[in-house]
A = this chain, B = another copy of it.
Amino acid sequence: MQSYAKKVSMSVVKRLPKYYRYLNDLSERGFEKISSKELADLMGLTASQIRQDLNSFGAYGQQGYGYKVEDLKNAIVKILGIDRPYNCVIIGAGNLGRAISHYEGFKNQGIRIKAMFDIDSQKVGKSRDGIPILHMDQLEEFLAGNNISIAILCVPRTIGQGTANRICKAGVKAIMNFVPLDLDVPEGVMVENVNITDSLFTLTYLLNE
Contacts and interface: CB of A to CB of B under 8 A. Distances in A.
Contacts of A203: 150, 174, 176, 190, 192
A14 B82 CA distance: 28
A106 B200 contact: yes
A149 B207 contact: yes
Contacts of A13: 202, 205-206
Interface stretch (A63-71, A96-104, A118-126): A96-104
Contacts of A149: 207
A105 interface: yes
Interface stretch (A17-25, A30-38, A136-144): A17-25
A173 interface: yes
B192 A21 contact: no
Interface residues of A, number: 57
A199 B199 CA distance: 14
Given A96-B99, A98-B99, A105 B197 contact: yes
Query: How many copies altogether?
Result: 2
The interface residues of chain A, by DSSP majority, are classed as helix
Given A149-B207, A174-B203, A208-B1, A17 B82 contact: no
Contact of A201 (B2, B20, B199, B208): B20
Interface in A63-110: 79-82, 86, 94-96, 98-100, 102-106, 109
A176 B194 CA distance: 13
Contact of A105 (B44, B82, B173, B196): B196
A44 to B, nearest CB: 8
